[in-house]
Amino acid sequence: MNITRRHLLWLLPAAAVAWEHVLAGTPEASPNYQTSQHWWAMLIDLPNCIGCGNCVRACQAENDVPDGYFRTWVERYHVADWRLETPQVDSPDGGKHGFPPAKEEGGKNFFVPKMCNHCADSPCTQVCPVGATFISPDGVVLVDKTYCLGCRYCVQACPYGCRFIHPKTNTAEKCTLCYHRITKGLTTACCEACPTGARKLANLRDPKDPIHEFLKTHSVQVLKPHMATYAKVYYNGLDGSVR
Amino acid sequence: MNLFRDAGHLFRLAAVFVAGLAFFLVVRGFLVPKTFGEYGHYRGAALEEIAARPVNFAGHQSCETCHAEIAEKKGGGKHVHVNCEACHGPQAKHADDPGSIQPAKLDTAVLCVRCHEANAAKPKNFPQVVSADHSNGLACDTCHQPHSPAIESGGAK
Amino acid sequence: MPGVEGFMYPNEVELQWSVLIVLYPFLTGLVAGAFILASLERVFQVQAVKPTYRLALLTALAFLLVAPMPLQLHLGRPERSFEMYLTPHRTSAMAMFGFVYLWYLMAVLVVEIWLDYRRDIVLMAQSSTGWKRWFYGALTLGSNNISERALHIDERAGWLITLIGIPSAFLLHGYVGFIFGSIKANPWWSTPLMPVVFLFSAMVSGIALVLLLYMLSMRLRKQPIDMRCVDTVASYLFYTFVIDFSMEMLDLIHRIYESDESFRSLDFMVHTKLYLSHIVIQIALGTLLPIALLAVTQVIHLDENTRKRIYVLAGCLTLMGIFAMRWNVVIGGQLFSKSFLGYTTYKMGLVTREGLLTAVALTILPFLILWVLVKLLPPWPQATPERTAA
């Protein structure tokens, strides 16, 4: 590092100013953030996923995710020939530490990161008996952990298995799309940590967001489209064998 | 008159129910959280509370504010799109107080193989090696400069 | 991973709903079933079952009082359960629970019991001493009117309450079936037949329970069993069971025929992990055998003692079978992965909050409460003349 004390004289105040809005506790203190200007989604570019597990580790570090539970995880698929209905899938510790070398070279092998799909018509918010889980005005499905009863109905209702009950708070928990980051102009921890750009946060309400061009020029899918959850995590290159 | 006398017990029963309902409505008025229903069927204050969590990853823009030369070196190499904290881990505390909190030195023997160890499920065009054959136990940064690792383009040490 | 075969989504390995959630529909099912049996006499004028009327109502009350306990114990934050009354989410079937339960408990069951017992309560208030006088006095709500007209009004009001009570009982247990049946994420649960199957199996279990309790009570009191009564109850049990079994078979046949994406995974699960609880206990021993036994009594004339033994055996097998059905739905629905690629294991605790001992205690508790209720509000005619007919 070549930063001298002299550099620090102007660097530190500049960094402090830039940092101020990040450390601000509320969206109000990031005065530019309007929920009405955002409709959050995520793009997962599967041909770029290398299964390194950075996203899983970063999510755990950012959100204090307890061991054994996952707000996001990576699955590895092995599809033999035409048998799309019966892939071999594994996800050792959610892919947190990467994957051991694949045993079989034949067939088709690839990684699929999974997370909460922040469904626009989510079955989990539909079944919550008290209104502890909801979709925010900017499209993020969140859990109010001071209100949640821990009845586990939402965990049962999610088709994607992205919810769990936190062992300490005994309330429902899941990916928050790093709401505390995206409302401050940062990207999610998983996107920040992804080395290949396989995960990209997107704002569907921003006409200049690159996702619009991407959606126009690629074939994209969502998981379990027949469930009609209006999921907002779009996968590029999702194979038919993915469950 | 007769009806009231002979059905009096039913009226008393009804009164018990009405009293119970009234009691419930009064108690409910006190217990329902004030911000409930502001944006939808949930406690409106929850949005601000969730957004107020502290961040642990500073984000590469914060890093580049101070570490401009590193950013420049990275910008010319293969790791241009690899954000700082992808390897260095969460550094918000360091960005907040750079003087007193220093990031830990990274062990390239563990770090690099996470991405670059050969695996059949990785994309074919992604640079990957069988580390045992490739480096014979040497640490990766013996030959590769992590911020611009490709050896041909001047990333060698 | 221990206990996991194949692949499960990482968060799916641990079961969410335990044996307590198996117990809850079993208990409310007994409530609904016992009440429907009681309403047979009150609304449909089936005089033969009259001896079981009050006992059925008290049984329903005893089990209804215990029903919320497994729910409270399973909640992650039981201290927040009242939120269902404060801010019920109208799209959630579970949010209905608090209101349906309270409605059924207070506006139907308690009122009906009160109306039917009111004459006895007033008489007991006048004739007892000490705390009993105070207790029965409070129950009279301060009214001592047991004139013929007042009792006639009670009769009419009780008839109306029972009439409302029948759909209320359907709702009390039907919504539980809907809680499972409306989850599109879980193909073992998601079927429009679920509320129907739950309801009919509830009726079966409730009728069986009252049948057994009536026979046991008469035995304990050294009174003769009214055979016309138990024969009628047993025939209702038989016909209801046939309908219940038909519904379950319809669901099964439909699944096998349509063979959608979940079928192979579920089929494998039923033949392996659920073989004992589903094929053996629920279907063979808990449904086919009691139906066969009851069918014999309906077709062949057997002597009294043989019929009594068959009824007791059939009743016990029925209760076991209906409990197994709840187990297979609740636990079975969580043993397979929503990826249809794997299975997990249910690790039931022993002395934990949601463990086996808790479940056993909660199953015994309603009988203790029933014993107290029978002492406070005797279901059988004492020296006083019977209630006048409408």
Q: Residue C3's pLDDT band (boundaries 50, 70, 90)?
A: confident
Average pLDDT over residues B4-11: 86
Residues A105, C270: Cα–Cα separation, whole Å: 34
Closest residue to A171, CB basis, from C77, C179, C184: C77
C170: exposed, middle or buried (C-beta count within 10 Å: 0-12, 13-18, 19+)? middle
Question: How far is CA C229 from its chain centroid?
Answer: 21
Where do the structural domains in chain B lie, given as residue ranges?
Answer: 2-51, 60-155
Whether the per-residue pLDDT at B155 is higher than 60: the answer is no
The structural domains of chain C, ordered by start, are 18-244+348-376 (1.20.1630)
Distance of alpha carbon C182 from the chain centroid = 21
Dig out the tokens for A222 from the structure: 């969502």
Identify whether the C-beta of residue C336 lies closer than 8 Å to the C-beta of residue C343: yes
Predicted local confidence at residue C97, as pLDDT? 85
Spell out which residues of chain C touch residue A87, defining contact as CB-CB under 8 Å: 341
pLDDT in tens, B85-142: 999 999 999 999 998 888 888 988 889 999 999 999 999 999 999 988 898 888 898 8
Residues contacting C272, CB < 8 A, separation 6+: C343
**Higher per-residue confidence, B104 vs C77:** C77
- Nearest-CA residue of chain B relative to A126? B41
Domain annotation covers residue A23: no
| pLDDT tens profile C262-307 | 999 999 999 999 999 999 999 999 999 999 999 999 999 999 999 9
> Which residue from C10, C261, C334 is facing A70, i.e. has the nearest CB?
C10
* Chain A hits for C74, Cβ within 8 Å: 151
Å between A5 CA and nearest CA of chain C: 49
Query: How much is the average pLDDT of B10-37?
Result: 94
Indicate yes or no: CB of C150 within 8 angstroms of CB of B6: yes
Q: Is the dihedral of CA A189, A190, A195, A201 positive or negative?
A: negative
d(C-alpha A146, C-alpha B37), whole Å: 16
Q: Do A193 and B86 touch (CB under 8 A)?
A: yes
Sheet holding A199-203, edge to edge: A199-203, A40-45, A233-236, A220-221
Is the residue at A48 inside a domain?
yes
C-alpha–C-alpha distance, residues C141 and C120, integer Å: 14
pLDDT of res. C1: 72
> Average model confidence (pLDDT) for chain B?
90
> Would you say C61 and C35 are in contact if contact means Cβ atoms under 8 Å apart?
no
How far B120 CA sits from the closest chain A CA (Å)? Answer: 6
Q: What is the 8-class DSSP label of residue C236?
A: H
Question: Which residue matches tokens 């911020």?
Answer: B147
Residue C199 sits at the vertex; the CA angle it makes with C197 and C205, to the nearest 5 degrees, is 100
Instruction: Give the minimum alpha-carbon distance from B88 to chain C in angstroms, rounded to a whole number.
Output: 27
Q: Give the pLDDT of residue C45.
A: 83
For residue A79, give its domain range: 35-236
Residues listed for chain B:
157
Nearest residue in A to C185, CA atom:
A159
* β-strand partners of A115: A72
For testing contact with chain B, the best of C81, C82, C86 (most B CBs within 10 A): C86
Cβ neighbours around A214 below 10 Å, total: 16
Contacts of C77 (CB under 8 A, 6+ apart): A148, A149, A150, A170, A171
- DSSP letter at A73 equals E
Distance from the C141 Cα atom to the nearest Cα atom in chain B, whole angstroms:
7
Per CB-CB distance under 8 Å, the chain A contacts of B86 are 54, 58, 192-195
Contact check, Cβ <8 Å, C11/A157: no
Is the Cβ–Cβ distance between A226 and A236 less than 8 Å?
Answer: no
Question: Quick check: C310 contacting B, CB < 8 Å?
Answer: no
Whether the ipTM is more than 0.90: the answer is yes
Task: Taking residues C41-51, report their average pLDDT.
Answer: 87
* Residue C119: closest C-alpha in chain B: B9
Distance in angstroms (rounded) separating the CA atoms of residues B67 and A183: 25
Tell whether C111 is within 8 A of chain B (Cβ). Answer: yes
Residue C385 predicted with pLDDT over 60: no
Residues C105 and A124: their CA atoms lie apart, in Å, by 29
Strands A172-173 and A164-165: antiparallel
C window 188-217, beta carbon within 8 A of A: none
For residue A1, being part of any structural domain is answered with no
Q: How far is C143 from chain B (nearest CA, A)?
A: 6
Indicate the pLDDT class of residue B150, thresholds 50, 70 and 90.
Answer: confident
**pLDDT > 70? residue C205:** yes
Are the Cβ atoms of A130 and C84 closer than 8 angstroms? yes
More confident residue, A12 or C163: C163
- C-alpha to C-alpha distance for C368 and C361, rounded to whole angstroms: 10
Q: Tokens at residue C153, please?
A: 């009004």
C233 and C211 Cβ atoms separated by less than 8 Å: yes
Chain C touching partners, 3 or more CB pairs below 8 A: A, B
Q: What distance in Å separates the CA atoms of residue C32 and residue C35, rounded to the nearest whole number?
A: 5
Contact C145 B9 (CB under 8 A): yes
Contacts of B56 (CB under 8 A, 6+ apart): A61, A62, A189, B90, B92, B93
Intervals of chain A under pLDDT 70: 1-31, 103-105
Query: In this structure, what are the phi and psi dihedrals at residue A199, rounded to the nearest 5 degrees?
Result: -115, 130
Amino acid found at B32: V
Question: Helix, strand, coil % (nearest 5) of chain C?
Answer: 75, 0, 25
How far apart are alpha carbons B91 and B104 in whole angstroms? 10
Q: DSSP letter at B104? A: P
Percentage of chain B modeled with pLDDT above 90: 69
Q: Which helix (H) or strand (E) holds A79?
A: strand A72-79
Which positions ≥6 away from C287 have C-beta within 8 Å? C241, C244, C245, C248, C321
Whether chain A has a CB inside 8 Å of the CB on C91: the answer is yes
Interface touch A27/B51, C-beta < 8 Å: yes
Exposed, middle or buried, C295 (CB in 10 Å: 0-12/13-18/19+)? Answer: middle
| Inter-chain touch A19–B120, beta carbons under 8 Å | no
C360: Cβ–Cβ under 8 A, 6 or more apart, which residues?
none
Residue B110: how many other CB atoms lie within 10 Å = 11
Predicted confidence at residue A105, as pLDDT, reads: 66
Q: Rounded to 5 degrees, what angle do the CA atoms A194, A195, A198 make? A: 60
Mean pLDDT of all residues belonging to chain C = 93
The size of chain A, in residues, is 243
Q: Are C37 and C52 in contact (CB under 8 A)?
A: yes
Chain B nearest-CA distance from C118, in A, is: 10
Residue in chain C closest to B42 (alpha carbons) equals: C87
Query: Which chain B residue has its CA at the smallest distance from C156's CA?
Result: B7
pLDDT value at position B110? 86
Which chain A residues touch C87 with a CB distance below 8 Å? 130-131
pLDDT value of position A21: 43
Is there a domain that residue A200 lies in?
yes
pLDDT at B2 over 80: no
Which residue in C82, C85, C118 is closest to B9 by CB distance?
A: C118
Chains that touch A (3 or more CB pairs under 8 A): B, C
pLDDT score recorded for residue A14: 52
Single-letter amino acid, residue B123: P
Average pLDDT on C226-234 reads 94
- CB C106 within 8 Å of CB B51: no
Rounded to the nearest angstrom, the minimum Cα separation between B22 and chain C is: 14
> What pLDDT score was predicted for residue A168?
97
With CB atoms and an 8 Å threshold, state whether B12 touches C85: no
* Residues 6+ away with beta carbon under 8 Å from A42: A115, A118, A177, A188, A191, A199, A200, A201, A202, A232, A233, A234
DSSP C58-80: HHHHHHHHHTHHHHHHH-SSGGG
Closest Cα of chain A to B37: distance in Å? 9
Q: Using the beta-carbon criterion (under 8 Å), do B51 and A179 form an inter-chain contact?
A: yes
Smallest CA-to-CA distance from A198 within A46, A76, A29 is with A46
Domain with A43 in it: what CATH number?
3.30.70.20
Closest partner residue to C86 (CB to CB) among B2, B20, B32 is: B32
Q: Which positions ≥6 away from B117 have C-beta within 8 Å?
A: A98, A101, B128, B129, B130, B131
Three-state DSSP at B71 gives helix
Nearest to C16 among A156, A160, A169 (CB): A156
Residue C107 in contact with partner chain A when CB distance is under 8 A: no
Burial class (CB in 10 A: 0-12, 13-18, 19+), B115: buried
pLDDT at C323: 97
Residue C161, pLDDT score:
93
**How many independent structural domains does chain A possess?**
1
Structural tokens at position A237: 């290159």
How many other C-beta atoms lie within 10 A of the C-beta of residue A101?
11
For residue B10, the surrounding DSSP H or E stretch is: helix B8-31
Interface probe with A: pick from C1, C4, C9, most Cβ of A within 10 Å: C9
CA distance A5 to C330: 66
Q: How far is B123 from chain A (nearest CA, A)?
A: 6
Residues of C in contact with A133 (CB under 8 A): none
pLDDT exceeds 80 at position C127: yes
Tell me, what's the pLDDT at A65? 97
Average pLDDT rounded to a whole number, residues C222-241: 95
| Cβ-nearest to C111 among B5, B12, B13 | B13
Q: Are A132 and A149 in contact, with CB atoms under 8 Å apart?
A: yes
**H or E element that contains A193:** helix A189-193
Residue C384 has pLDDT above 50, yes or no: no
Q: CB-hemisphere CA count at 13 Å for A201?
A: 23
